[in-house]
Structure 1
Amino acid sequence: MSRRAGSADLPLHGGRVPAWLGQRMTKLGTVITQAIILHYGRDEFLRRLAHPFWFQSFGAVMGMDWHSSGITTSVLGALKRGLTPLSAELGLHVCGGRGRHSRATPDELLAVGNRTGLDGSALARTSRMIAKVDSAAVQDGFDLYLHGFIVADDGRWVVVQQGMNDGTRLARRYHWLSEDLKSFVEAPHAAIDGRNQGRIVNLTDRRAAASRIGQLDLLRDLGPDGIVREAAALTPAPPAPATAQPELPHLVMPDRHEVRPGDVILRRLHGALAAAAEADPRDFAELLMVPGVGARTVHSLAMVAELVHGAPCRFDDPARFSLAHGGKDRQPFPVPVLVYDRTIQVMKSAVEAASLGNDEKLDAIRRLDAQARQLEQTAGGPSLDAFIAGERRRSHDYGGRSVFGHEPPPAERTSRTERTGG
């Protein structure tokens, strides 16, 4: 059966991704995808998308709100914009999205089939079936509003879809992976993100096989009216003992904007900072042939490198990845646009060289990740609050920007605070 990766809570947040950030998310998401495929292949990239902790970390490193449901929409949107022009080269096709884009998924899959020779009709049926299972067979109070279907030229795919519960102001994200999938109606999910809502109707549970068969038998033998009569005559019976199922990892994304010390495994942050300090920025920039690379950019690169090379256990604190490029709502700090752009430049330079057979630059990124992991065992560093305060002090120098505008110089920022009494 397919693998389940875990669960998480995703608070519902409004707002839109500003164009200046959306464009950068597209570029960074694309180059990270290319790096993963170059190192590990398409199948591994699909597995990463099916891992809810990695997916959340992926969105956080792009400067989205680290904890919110908006990461799902923005990541899928960035991948669709960035990978569509490269679909022939990478053999990946991103279909669907939110709202009307979600409803267009079957037609997009038919078009992919026409271009690649895949059975587009079968893919479209798969898309409809998955949406039906998560909206009808899993009745957990979440109404689907987003459906993303990423398919490779060899027919393997991953589906990420999300539902919302207006009453609780929570979202639940569902991950599907074609690898090892043997049934659409028995334990098919790679993962489900969302807070435990108590008892739910989940007809995809392995323990519900008898119920699925019984429902079909009743419908065939009694018809709808007969089922109603039989239901009225029933009396409650004690539930049969359930067979144990392994607990899934559960990620709780809080309904608050600020990143707190409990959200981050500090030794991992210190490892990335130590690796950035020990890597001579001048040598690093010379190797990568990207001007202006300093220790701050190398720190962001270390976190991007971890997304490319890290094992699943490395992503149980996705808030840490927001410390690479901040967040659009100024949490944990404004997006350092200059650092962000250099990170994209470095990664793009490394990927372009690797695609031409020169792996030296991309290997330098991999070694940076390895060094950060080694140093985190012994490295010390600032507290999380001190690190965030330092980023905010230097935000103007880094080209800090948020949905509230460009970050002013420190003196002007202090003057504003004094005038408003903040």
Structure 2
Amino acid sequence: MNKTGIANLPLHSGRAPYWLFKRMVALSRAIIELMIIEFGREEFLRRLSDPYWFQSLGCVLGFDWHSSGVTTTVTGALKEALKGMENEFGLFIAGGKAQRAIQTPQEIINYAESGGFDSEPLVYASRLTAKVDNVAVQDGFNLYHHTIFFTSDGHWCVIQQGMNESLSIARRYHWLSFTLKSFVEEPHEAVCCDVKTETLNFTAKESSDLRRASVIVSKEKPEKIIKEIQKISELKLPKRHLITLNDINPQHLYKIFLKTYEKQPENFESLLEIKGLGPKALRAIALTSEIIYGTPIVFKDPAKFSFAHGGKDRTPYPVDRRIYDKTIEVMKKAISYAKIGRMEKISALRRISKIIESPY
């Protein structure tokens, strides 16, 4: 799979009506069950981590391709569809929008207790993916939605979304455990967008020296870091929109530098884990690292769709409820056949699909 992983979406007003969401849940349940039967849980996670596939899934469920609400509503429908069947499938979904995102760790723990598997690595993945996209990738998008899909075997996929209020655009971030080599260097499964922003990117490959230097600086006594910052404030800073003298106010940063000194982080990942370390503190550390060690600060945005049933806001055309219900019925029949071993029926569905898609 090519690097994709971030999708920028213009904001739309309105929400999915109840009659549509109810059908989305039913169709989602059929899709989840059929995919697990035919491809397995891990492949389902892999598909979710592809923003194009996820967007296409939203289209099938009744959202037009550029609706920003596709993220929250589709993940919500998937979560509702799986309710009560998690242990049967060994597949779980935690998190959601706003307050539900905050409750993610406890949800993971509850699922782990009922399913008899280790929650700690999953809670760590949930927490750190959010911290990376909120703090280490400073692209102007603030996270408001976080969902983690995971299996009882410990595999996971994270889909989260941030909002840029000034641009009125939402950005979605996709992560996948199978391909993750590092939480802090080029960690996303993909990137897909048309709009790029000025981004202070600690996760860029070119930021490796900056990450190392930032860890060294964070281990110093707070007084020493503050002294360097005071020196910097007397100099003329380079013209940058993301780092200003207001960002490195010593009075506001002393407490967090005391925490980093006491923690003595081993690497950049453990530095990010420190509670209270936010974007401004990390920017101050980066600027101090640049002045002391000459490490360059990298400004690089990590960011580099189809209709089926219509759109929730009648764009490009209203959802045809009769056809939507027929789709659910067909999917249910396919699952029923699959469960009794008649996989040839699913193969027939694939063949029919290919015939329909063929231009000849």
TM-score of the pair, normalised by structure 1? 0.67
For 1:114 and 1:193, locate their aligned partners in 2 and report how far apart those are by CA, in whole Å: 36
Q: 1:97 corresponds to which letter in structure 2?
A: G
Which of 167-176 and 27-36 deviates more?
27-36
Matched, 1:143 2:142: yes
For 2:87 and 2:296, locate their aligned partners in 1 and report how far apart those are by CA, in whole Å: 52
5 Å matches for 1:89-128? 89-128=88-127
5 Å matches for 1:223-302? 223=222, 224-232=225-233, 233=235, 236=238
Match of 2:196, SS state, is coil
Per-residue CA distance 1:345-390 (angstroms, 9 max, x = gap): 01111112201212232222111123234x22x3xxxxxxxxxxxx
Give the match for residue 319 of structure 2.
335
CA drift of 1:104 comes to 0.7
For 1:337 and 1:208, locate their aligned partners in 2 and report how far apart those are by CA, in whole Å: 51
Give the match for residue 187 of structure 2.
188
RMSD: 2.6
Q: Are the aligned partners of 1:161 and 1:175 in contact in 2 as well (CA < 8 Å)?
A: yes
Q: Are the aligned partners of 2:207 and 2:297 in contact in 1 as well (CA < 8 Å)?
A: no
5 Å matches for 1:357-368? 357-368=341-352
Q: 2:71 corresponds to which letter in structure 1?
A: T
Query: Is the alpha carbon distance of 1:125 and 1:240 closer, same or farther for their aligned partners in structure 2, counting shifts above 3 Å?
Result: closer
For 1:121 and 1:3, locate their aligned partners in 2 and report how far apart those are by CA, in whole Å: 30
CA drift of 1:191 comes to 2.0
Give the match for residue 283 of structure 2.
none
Give the match for residue 7 of structure 2.
8
For 2:58 and 2:201, locate their aligned partners in 1 and report how far apart those are by CA, in whole Å: 29
Q: Are the aligned partners of 2:5 and 2:174 in contact in 1 as well (CA < 8 Å)?
A: no
Q: Are the aligned partners of 2:141 and 2:164 in contact in 1 as well (CA < 8 Å)?
A: yes
User: Can you give the 5+ residue segments of structure 1 that lack an aligned partner in the other structure?
Assistant: 251-317, 379-422
Matched, 1:153 2:137: no
2:334 paired residue among 326, 335, 350: 350
Per-residue CA distance 1:261-296 (angstroms, 9 max, x = gap): xxxxxxxxxxxxxxxxxxxxxxxxxxxxxxxxxxxx
Query: Is the alpha carbon distance of 1:201 and 1:100 closer, same or farther for their aligned partners in structure 2, counting shifts above 3 Å?
Result: same
Q: Are the aligned partners of 1:143 and 1:165 in contact in 2 as well (CA < 8 Å)?
A: yes
CA drift of 1:26 comes to 0.7
For 1:146 and 1:20, locate their aligned partners in 2 and report how far apart those are by CA, in whole Å: 24
User: Can you give the 5+ residue segments of structure 2 that lack an aligned partner in the other structure?
Assistant: 239-289
For 1:172 and 1:57, locate their aligned partners in 2 and report how far apart those are by CA, in whole Å: 16
For 1:48 and 1:214, locate their aligned partners in 2 and report how far apart those are by CA, in whole Å: 37
Give the match for residue 221 of structure 1.
220
Q: Are the aligned partners of 1:173 and 1:194 in contact in 2 as well (CA < 8 Å)?
A: no
Per-residue CA distance 1:203-224 (angstroms, 9 max, x = gap): 1111111101111212323533
Match of 1:126, SS state, is helix
For 1:8 and 1:143, locate their aligned partners in 2 and report how far apart those are by CA, in whole Å: 14
Matched, 1:134 2:118: no
CA drift of 1:64 comes to 1.6
Per-residue CA distance 1:382-418 (angstroms, 9 max, x = gap): xxxxxxxxxxxxxxxxxxxxxxxxxxxxxxxxxxxxx
Per-residue CA distance 1:227-277 (angstroms, 9 max, x = gap): 41353347659x99999x9x97x5xxxxxxxxxxxxxxxxxxxxxxxxxxx
Figure out how many residues of one structure are paired with residues of the other and give that number.
Answer: 303
Q: 1:35 corresponds to which letter in structure 2?
A: L
Q: Are the aligned partners of 1:5 and 1:50 in contact in 2 as well (CA < 8 Å)?
A: no
Q: Are the aligned partners of 2:179 and 2:189 in contact in 1 as well (CA < 8 Å)?
A: no
Q: Are the aligned partners of 1:172 and 1:193 in contact in 2 as well (CA < 8 Å)?
A: no
Match of 1:190, SS state, is coil
5 Å matches for 1:317-332? 318=305, 320=306, 322=307, 324-332=308-316
For 2:297 and 2:231, locate their aligned partners in 1 and report how far apart those are by CA, in whole Å: 25
Q: Are the aligned partners of 2:209 and 2:295 in contact in 1 as well (CA < 8 Å)?
A: no
Q: 1:52 corresponds to which letter in structure 2?
A: P
5 Å matches for 1:300-311? none
CA drift of 1:111 comes to 0.9
TM-score of the pair, normalised by structure 2? 0.78
Give the match for residue 58 of structure 1.
57
CA drift of 1:181 comes to 1.3
Q: Are the aligned partners of 2:309 and 2:319 in contact in 1 as well (CA < 8 Å)?
A: yes
For 2:220 and 2:201, locate their aligned partners in 1 and report how far apart those are by CA, in whole Å: 24
